[in-house]
Chain A
Amino acid sequence: MKIGKQTIKLENTPKILQTSSIVGPKETQGPLSQYFDKHIDDIFFGETTFEKAESKFMKTCIDNLLSKVPTLPENIDYIFAGDLLNQCICSGYCIRDLNIPFFGLYGACSTFCESLSLASTFINAGYAQKCIAATSSHFCSAERQFRMPLEHGNQKSPTAQCTVTASGSAIVVPKDVGTQGPLITHITPGKIIDMGITDMTNMGAAMAPAAFNTIMTHLQDTQRSANYYDIIATGDLGVLGSEILVDLFNKEGIDLNGIHADCGALIYNHDKQDTHCGGSGCGCMASVFSGYFFDQLKSKKINKILIVATGALMSPLSIQQGESIPGIAHAVAIENEV
């Protein structure tokens, strides 16, 4: 049921039955390492190209998810997945081997919430019994598509972020299936907000206004206050983008300190790991939610979370043509039954 301007209330409250996460070497050295299911030391993951490696990250993540439930691929009705690569080849080649009907999604780094939103609406409507939402990103495949060759000796801007090598996935089922788990109660798909930022090395600033807009709209539509949630987690605004978001809320008289967390800011130890403003990429929110926040929900350390994956919808081509960076953010409210 649609409530307010753009929020959907899922009256059948689909459940996240299980999640799975896998991370690369740099994320393994980060502060959240212990929460991830699988840690891979080899950036190539035994493959010959970075693109194949990223596909394998996602495949291993989904296989792990299926074994955790446990269930078989043929029992999955639909899979909603996406990544950052052109034509979403990572997801395409990964799911080729799984034999599951597939919706390929692109929302840049906002894809995880986009896929989780669609998976949960399918379950809510009764069109499916088991849906998977998955995304991935890989530092090396992203660098070569969006930035400079890896071995090129250049300096990064202090506002730059580092694409996370990781994949995360979640399986969504109707409320009464399986063991107890966190429920998806609302989704707020976001609008594109573009404040004219053209600097590809400052994505946090480009996406923060979109996150602000989506969170604010969500709170208005659901008539909730920000502190209704234990945590409002954004995807990859990074250190600078998070500061901007908190500032924007302050201007509206809402204090987000203590409530807001950002997956990109959490995943690395910025000073030691030289990651500047933090992590980014589709795999950032996917792995941090699937690993860290899902664990916190399961152990009831937090009971209400709003996850807001943020994306920058540009390409190197559009930037070279002088276009600014359109930002987007999708919100998903996940709550424990209390």
Chain B
Amino acid sequence: MNSNINMSNEEYSTYVESKAKKSPIFKNIVWAFLVGGLICTIGQLITNLFLSWGFSKDDATMVCTISLIFLGAFLTAINVYSKIGQHAGAGSIIPITGFSNSVVAPAIEFKTEGYVLGLGANMFKIAGPVLVYGITSSVFVGLIYWIIKLFM
């Protein structure tokens, strides 16, 4: 009898990998496609609706964005968005409703630590990195675009 496992860390981790149940990737992809597609279709419907009411294209897309952000926040507050997310995964994380969810969820959660150091400080806990790297990379892409424009 030996109380030590005769395995190196690498061997153990390969063994665990072979034993662990894998994420159902195909099922997840189908769900993500359907739910992500549905959210985008709803967005398109809102845009088309406002276009048909005589809004300009810029205004109609803005109204669409605002509506989807509201929808994401509303569904988060009534404990529905997390349930959608369990099945849809990236399908509900990537669209703007997911961004809204990632701001509202910590806001609800950290309200118990007060409005300033709780809600205020933690609201962008998940969305913060997206903003930091999203804005930084958009600045770089903008610079590249500007340089290319100089020579064309």
User: What are 9 sample pairs from A and B whose C-beta atoms fall under 8 A apart?
Assistant: A144-B109, A149-B108, A153-B85, A154-B93, A155-B86, A158-B21, A213-B4, A244-B15, A244-B16
A195 touching B12, Cβ below 8 Å: yes
Q: Which residue of B lies closest to A150 (CB)?
A: B109
Q: Which residues of B contact A (CB under 8 A)?
A: 1-7, 9-10, 12-13, 15-16, 19-24, 28, 76-77, 79, 81-89, 92-93, 98, 101-102, 104-106, 108-110, 112, 125-126
| Min C-beta distance of B7 to chain A, whole Å | 7
Q: Is A227 an interface residue (CB 8 A)?
A: no
Q: Is A196 an interface residue (CB 8 A)?
A: yes
Q: Which residues from chain B contact A243 at a C-beta distance below 8 Å?
A: 19
B9 touching A217, Cβ below 8 Å: no
| 0/1 string, A245-261, CB within 8 A of B gives 1 | 00110011010000000
Q: Which residue of B lies closest to A52 (CB)?
A: B112
Q: Which residue of A lies closest to B104 (CB)?
A: A151
Q: Is A197 an interface residue (CB 8 A)?
A: yes
Q: Is A220 an interface residue (CB 8 A)?
A: yes
Q: Which residue of B lies closest to A159 (CB)?
A: B20
**Cα distance A50–B112 when bound, in Å?**
9
**Cα distance A318–B85 when bound, in Å?**
27
| Min C-beta distance of B22 to chain A, whole Å | 7
Q: Is A301 an interface residue (CB 8 A)?
A: no
Closest 8 CB pairs of A and B: A153-B85, A196-B9, A216-B3, A151-B105, A149-B109, A149-B105, A152-B105, A158-B21
Chain A: residues with Cβ within 8 Å of the partner, total of 37
**Cα distance A276–B117 when bound, in Å?**
34
Q: Which residue of B lies closest to A206 (CB)?
A: B16
Q: Which of A196, A212, A240 contacts B19 (CB 8 A)?
A: A240
A151 touching B81, Cβ below 8 Å: yes
A153 touching B81, Cβ below 8 Å: yes
Q: Is A148 an interface residue (CB 8 A)?
A: yes
B13 touching A197, Cβ below 8 Å: yes
Q: Which residues from chain B contact A244 at a C-beta distance below 8 Å?
A: 15-16, 19
B2 touching A159, Cβ below 8 Å: no
**Cα distance A156–B88 when bound, in Å?**
11
Q: Which residues from chain B contact A153 at a C-beta distance below 8 Å?
A: 76, 81-86, 88, 92-93, 98, 101, 105
| Min C-beta distance of B84 to chain A, whole Å | 6
Supposing A149-B109, A195-B13, A205-B20 touch, asked if A155 and B85 sit within 8 A by C-beta, the answer is yes
| 0/1 string, A179-218, CB within 8 A of B gives 1 | 0000000000000000111000010010001001100110
B5 touching A195, Cβ below 8 Å: yes
Q: Which residues from chain A contact B82 at a C-beta distance below 8 Å?
A: 150-154
B126 touching A152, Cβ below 8 Å: yes
Q: Which residues from chain A contact B81 at a C-beta distance below 8 Å?
A: 151, 153
Q: Which residues of A contact B (CB under 8 A)?
A: 48-50, 144, 148-159, 195-197, 202, 205, 209, 212-213, 216-217, 219-220, 240, 243-244, 247-248, 251-252, 254, 274
B22 touching A158, Cβ below 8 Å: yes
| Min C-beta distance of A143 to chain B, whole Å | 9
Q: Which residues from chain A contact B83 at a C-beta distance below 8 Å?
A: 153
**Cα distance A237–B69 when bound, in Å?**
40
**Cα distance A137–B79 when bound, in Å?**
23
Identify the interface centre among A48, A205, A217: most chain B CB within 10 Å of its CB: A205
| Min C-beta distance of B148 to chain A, whole Å | 38
**Cα distance A251–B16 when bound, in Å?**
15
B12 touching A151, Cβ below 8 Å: no
**Cα distance A144–B22 when bound, in Å?**
25
Q: Which of B1, B3, B7, B109 contacts A151 (CB 8 A)?
A: B109
Q: Which of B3, B12, B20, B84 contacts A217 (CB 8 A)?
A: B3
**Cα distance A219–B88 when bound, in Å?**
47
**Cα distance A195–B9 when bound, in Å?**
5
**Cα distance A31–B112 when bound, in Å?**
33
